[in-house]
Structure 1
Amino acid sequence: MSKGNNVKLKADVRNEFTRASRRELRENGGLPGVVYGGGEESIAVAVDFKDTSKLFHTGRSEVFRLDIPGSGEIPVLIKDVQKRRGNVSHVDFLRISMNKPVRVTVAIDYQGTAAGTKTGGILQTQLTELEVEGLPGKLPSNLVADVSALEVGDRLTVADLNVPEGITLHASEEEILATVMVPRIVEESQTDDEAAENVTEDGNATETE
């Protein structure tokens, strides 16, 4: 679950917006960003890259406080991270109210070993994340999808997820998350066997309707 506003990140107000100023900020270990939402004006900020990057790995539902001079501590979520040439170049913070539901994207954590893979099946996952909605303090950091009971041909759908109370999923219950497929080599072998059964003893193929 989200740590619920326990993490604090310091930020400075950014007053220069030239390409040179942004480059200098990054070279000195900073990261440009913006805080928006909540019906208030946007604030251009600069944050420490190392401290902020730690939050990239905890999921987009992680609520924390952004400490901005002149504005105090603001509860926010990381809404978006922009990259340039593979490197993080900018971060968007969404200003939130702890009493109002928000919609975020969370990762699907596939757990377990599918039973069907022990008999030659191949586990295929279709989705890596889903949109959820709920109060900021209740948002899950991920959704656990247990695939251990899946046999060959079985499917795991959104309806099979254990969703925390108070959280709404924005996805169809029938949407497939994972399935255990028959290996292609087995399918091809079965097709060859069926073809062989249709060949007569003198080597001529029989007619089929």
Structure 2
Amino acid sequence: MSSTLMVQARTIASKGDLRNIRSEGKIPGVIYGKGLASPTNISIDAKELALMLRSHANAVIEVDIPGAGKHPVMMAGLQRDALSRQVMHIDFHRINMNEKIKTAARLEITGVSPGEKEGGMLQLILHEVEIECYPKDIPESIFVDVSNLAMGEHLSISDLKLTAGVEVIQDPSTVIVAVLAPQKERTEEQLDAMADEAEEDRKHYEAAQAVDIS
């Protein structure tokens, strides 16, 4: 369990009540999932929530649910204001620590590639990958070592060094980072094609997840 988040119970409220909650520096939310008799409406301190989102949004956290005790949960949904991007509502899903789950892990580049030293441009195609593991094994990030990456070379998901118990569930051949030749030697269409390939892979995964969420 990486952290504990304090929550308060709240009743189902009108739009005016929700505005009052936010004006008090809190964010309304709901907790649901297996092991709970029914969804529980909560509010959370906005500063504590912001800290959690900045540090590790995909972490397993413990919440003390009023009337239901302490439970492990993960963020399942986040609503933001379209203009201000302020968090307006958050959903948490109660999980079973003894069952594998699917979530996302952030990619973190380490090292300096020889290709960059020769004038190439390092391009991170994927910023995170979808993984499956037990909740206790969720990594804060997956390191991508580019210190041996020459000009024109790339690393794929299959090249990632994963900790025990963690499996990436995307296509192993998906490119995650590449050292591109100077811009004048590579067209904008080529760059867009690489980005489109990564986006298409993400959409396929999300479509599969839509029918797999319990």
TM-score under structure 2 normalisation? 0.81
1:135 & 1:186 partners in 2: Cα distance? 44
Q: Does 1:66 align with 2:63?
A: yes
Q: Summarize deviations over 1:115-167 as a string: whole Å, max 9, x none.
A: 10111111111111111111111111111111121110111110111111111
1:89 & 1:68 partners in 2: Cα distance? 20
Q: 1:23 aligns with which of 19, 25, 48?
A: 19
1:88 & 1:60 partners in 2: Cα distance? 13
Could you tell me how far 1:185 is from its partner in structure 2?
Answer: 2.8
Question: Following superposition of structure 1 onto structure 2, how do residues 1-209 of structure 1 map, counting pairs within 5 Å?
Answer: 5-38=1-34, 40=36, 41-84=38-81, 85=83, 86-185=85-184
Residue in structure 2 matched with residue 203 of structure 1 by the alignment: none
Quick one: percent identity of the two aligned structures? 29
1:17 & 1:29 partners in 2: Cα distance? 16
Query: Compared with structure 1, are the counterparts of its residues 187 and 15 closer, same or farther at alpha carbon in structure 2 (3 Å cutoff)?
Result: closer
Instruction: Tell me which stretches of 4 or more aligned residues in structure 1 moved more than 6 Å.
Output: none
Could you tell me how far 1:12 is from its partner in structure 2?
Answer: 1.5
AA at the equivalent of 1:129:
E
Query: Compared with structure 1, are the counterparts of its residues 172 and 6 closer, same or farther at alpha carbon in structure 2 (3 Å cutoff)?
Result: closer
Q: Note the aligned Cα RMSD (angstroms).
A: 1.6
Q: Is the 8 A contact 1:61 1:105 kept in 2?
A: yes
Q: Note the residue ranges of structure 2 that are not aligned, 5 or more in a row.
A: 188-214
Residue in structure 1 matched with residue 190 of structure 2 by the alignment: none
The structure with the greater share of residues assigned to helix is 2
Q: Is the 8 A contact 1:60 1:141 kept in 2?
A: no
TM-score under structure 1 normalisation? 0.83
Q: Note the residue ranges of structure 1 that are not aligned, 5 or more in a row.
A: 189-209
Could you tell me how far 1:187 is from its partner in structure 2?
Answer: 6.4
Q: Is the 8 A contact 2:130 2:170 kept in 1?
A: yes
Aligned length: 184
AA at the equivalent of 1:83:
R
Residue in structure 2 matched with residue 198 of structure 1 by the alignment: none
Q: Is the 8 A contact 2:2 2:59 kept in 1?
A: no
Q: Secondary structure at the match of 1:58?
A: helix
1:83 & 1:25 partners in 2: Cα distance? 15
1:6 & 1:145 partners in 2: Cα distance? 23
1:11 & 1:113 partners in 2: Cα distance? 43
Residue in structure 2 matched with residue 195 of structure 1 by the alignment: none
